[in-house]
Amino acid sequence: ARQMYIQGHRQYEHHLQHYGHPSQQGYKDIIPLWHAEKWDPDRLMALYKRAGARYFVSMGVHHDNFDLWNSKHNPWNAVKMGPKRDVVGQWQKAAHKQGLRFGVSEHLGASFTWFQTSHGSDKEGPLAGVPYDGADPRYESLYHFPAEPGDTGWYSTNPRWHRMWFERIRDLVDSYHPDLLYTDGGVPFGNAYGLAMIAHLYNSDAARRGGKTEVIYNCKEQSEGRWVEDLERGVMVGINPYPWQTDTSLGDWFYNADWQYRDAEWVIRMLLDIVSKNGNLLLNVVQRPDGSLDPEVERTLERMAEWISANGEGVYGTRPWIIHGEGPVRAKGGHFAEDYAFTAADIRFTWKRGVLYAFALGKPADGKITVRALSTEAGQGRVRNVTILGCIARPVWRQDAEGLTVTLPDAPVSGIAVGLKVTGTRLREFTPPAPVTAVARPDAIGAYHLRVEDAELHGAGIRTERRGGKDNVGFWDSAAEWPEWRLEMTQRGTYEVRLAVATPHEGVRVTVELAGQPREVIIQSTGSWDQYAEVVAGRFVIGSTGTVALSVRPKDHATWKAINLADVRVSKVD
């Protein structure tokens, strides 16, 4: 809906070729073409439950400003147009029939600024300057009223829009009483609207339950337990003390015929990594426009169902163990970082009522799984019995100074992830192995390229993510947080440090410190969070060889404004 109004974008070109120019044939003309004629929510919900779902979240409204319920405030809704069905209501009935909790997802907060492209026009060509149909006041209820100059952030600053958002989402909450409400972004619009909506959600739920609140609010902002934090297409680095959630997809976020679907192996391994860290997985199942599923999606869900039926006891109702896992693959943590080459050497742990579950994220070629965290040298715990989930045959195992080594039987075991059920005594009395600190070493010309995933991140909010085609340190909202790297200096001399940064803010002051030598650096706006510029942080004299630290810290609370920090390069200049 947005990008079909951006001249030159592939979705603009697709719309132009198939439907016409957006000055005449716009998004308003696409909506009547959507019928969802093969959508069977009862059949799909049964399939989702079999595949492992314990709660289901329906789209309520996305950034296109089209409500999928019988909206009191928006005539552009699925009951009056398109499929002419109450999508939210029918999903809810299907979920409740299967005994699942039901949630709704709202992306409306960002819609106002996101959809302003519909008010533009071509920049070149025969129709340059001719307004798109979004500029027509007759369709303002779909495309929004025009934004004020400079109102371009994720969330609009316009109080009129804030009130409209509140009314629409309150209608959604009051009409369906969802068990979960998800917002795509942080809490919108401050105390008067965003926090007031959360209070209304919680209080109305308590009123219906005799004072007990069970409803969940879920958004992409930390809260220390006031709501559930969501990471889009990403994971936590380790165990989080508060429940959290990943939202990701089997494919693109919408039906994209060019996208290669994820397989069951990828989904299950992601699930285990997430659950081991106190998280939940919210998985988008991509539907065709007619409401059906592609055959590849159906097969993936059936394979998930097969694995879950054998291994679900090590997933549901569990809590983290003393560590989330072990193995060579180190998840970076943060949004948009989810493609990890897990192997059988990567182990993830869960815990339930005195039982430890250890999942190898693959099937070992030699038939042996070694859990090093259960070494007899690491604590007082002693293993008394080991079984394999979903397998009748008993494995051979031993616990010694190397760890718990399990030899798999000849009977079939899962090639996706092998679940070990471990019982014994004092199984929580182990000393977790010290984390391995990455140390950067020079390349062939004596320079250092410091990777984002190797940074030690100090603080609860700062995370790695991917923006503008680069891995970066982001979500850096607090001046009390900072990244730090270790470098093995093999040569004395003078080194220059350069940073690749992106920020819409002017005059951000940071202190770059290498080997105990601080340099103050002023960072100017690069124009956006996705547009990076190189900043020279200064020169530093290294008088001796050995391991040194490099940190990038906010100068102080008064001058700190968030940045995205990507490449950090240290080059010898003398």
Q: Which helix (H) or strand (E) holds 90?
A: helix 87-97
- Other beta carbons within 10 angstroms of residue 546's beta carbon come to 10
Q: What tokens were used for 446? A: 């004596």
Distance of CA 222 to the CA centre of its chain: 13
17 phi and psi, to 5 degrees?
Answer: -75, -35
Residue 520 burial (C-beta neighbours within 10 Å; 0-12, 13-18, 19+): exposed
pLDDT tens by residue, the chain, 574 residues: 999 999 999 999 999 999 999 999 999 999 999 999 999 999 999 999 999 999 999 999 999 999 999 999 999 999 999 999 999 999 999 999 999 999 999 999 999 999 999 999 999 999 999 999 999 999 999 999 999 998 988 999 999 999 999 999 999 999 999 999 999 999 999 889 999 999 999 999 999 999 999 999 999 988 888 999 999 999 998 999 999 999 999 999 999 988 899 999 999 999 999 999 999 999 999 999 999 999 999 999 999 999 999 999 999 999 999 999 999 887 777 788 788 899 999 999 999 999 999 999 999 999 999 999 999 999 989 999 999 999 999 999 999 999 999 999 998 899 999 999 999 999 999 987 766 678 999 999 999 999 888 888 887 678 888 777 888 998 898 898 999 999 999 999 999 999 999 999 999 999 999 999 999 999 999 988 889 999 999 999 999 999 999 999 999 988 899 999 998 999 999 8
Report the alpha-carbon distance of residue 235 to residue 338 in Å, rounded.
Answer: 7
Q: Is 409 left (phi over 0), alpha (psi -120 to 50) or beta?
A: beta
Closest by alpha carbon to 390, among 276, 278, 246, 268? 268
Report the alpha-carbon distance of residue 243 to residue 274 in Å, rounded.
Answer: 10
The residues, any chain, with a CB within 8 Å of residue 540's CB and separated by 6 or more, are 494, 495, 496, 497, 514, 515, 517, 519
| Single-letter code of the amino acid located at 550 | L
3-state secondary structure of 155: coil
